[in-house]
Amino acid sequence: MTIIRNVTEPITAGTSRRSFLSGGAHLTLSATAIALLAGNPRLAVGSARAATSGNDVTILNAALGAEQEAVAAYQLGAESGLLQKPVLDLAVGFQDHHKQHVDALAKTIRALGGRPVEPPKTFSFPTERLKSQADILSFAAQLEKGAVSAYLGAVPVLTDRELAKVAASILGDEAMHWAMLRQALGQDPVPAAFVS
């Protein structure tokens, strides 16, 4: 029996929630903003917010899973012996960004009362198709492109607008990675005026 819910039904009963930040506190638009947010003592999770933040946790966990995969993928690339400097340094730098995203997302999920997804014991990468530096760069570019789309999909549905702002900040970082990788591949780094 199919129990998929009719999409016209309301998702949750409660929509009001306390803002993450109050008073004069401001969120810095940086890749580590979520971590700063998660470290804010005003993030004590109350029952009302816990009831309404479920979707945000789901969305952030989806992003976390993609970030964990990106970290592992760059590790695979770095250890492949196929990346030459300065491309290797670029990849390691991007991996560090993704590690920061992982840390920030996990802290925020915990702060929202959720449980961060654990990375799988092994990732399934198409290693049979990764035989050159260009192969690895293309693979990484695909991951970054996917990440851009994922964050683009997350921004409008995060109920907390500060979280949406931070997700947009990470989106910008991923988009720069994607552009740089395309440039390294000799492709147009910015192929269109819009991303989807």
Partner 1 sequence: MPTISGLILLATVFAATAAPATQAADTERGEQIYQRCIACHSLDRNRSGPKHCGLLGRRAGSLPDYAYSRAMAGSGIIWTEETLDRFLKDPLGALPGTKMGYAGVKNAQERADLVAWLARVSQDRSICP
Q: Which residues bind partner 1 (CB under 8 A)?
A: 1-7, 9, 11, 55, 58-63, 65-66, 68-69, 117, 123-126, 142-143, 145-147, 149-150, 152-154, 156-157, 196
Give the residue with the Cβ less far from partner 1, 20 or 139: 139
Q: How far is the CB of 28 from partner 1 (least distance, A)?
A: 24
Please tell me the number of Cα atoms within 13 Å of 23 on its side-chain side: 3
Q: How far is the CB of 103 from partner 1 (least distance, A)?
A: 17
Q: How far is the CB of 81 from partner 1 (least distance, A)?
A: 23
DSSP 126: -
Give the residue with the Cβ less far from partner 1, 72 or 88: 72
Give the residue with the Cβ less far from partner 1, 88 or 119: 119
Give the residue with the Cβ less far from partner 1, 58 or 88: 58
Q: Which amino acid, residue 111?
A: A
Q: How far is the CB of 96 from partner 1 (least distance, A)?
A: 19
107 in Cβ contact with 38 (< 8 Å) = yes
Q: Is the peptide bond before 86 cis (omega within 30 degrees of 0)?
A: yes
Give the residue with the Cβ less far from partner 1, 90 or 171: 171
Q: How many residues are present in the chain?
A: 196
CA–CA separation, 143 and 123 (whole Å)? 13
Q: How far is the CB of 155 from partner 1 (least distance, A)?
A: 8
Q: Which of 121, 4, 108 is nearest to 59 (CA)?
A: 108
| Unique residue bearing structure tokens 């990440």 | 147
Q: DSSP letters of 64-97?
A: HHHHHHHHHHHHHHHHSS-PPTTHHHHHHHHHHH
Give the residue with the Cβ less far from partner 1, 15 or 124: 124
Q: How far is the CB of 50 from partner 1 (least distance, A)?
A: 15
CA–CA separation, 1 and 95 (whole Å)? 44
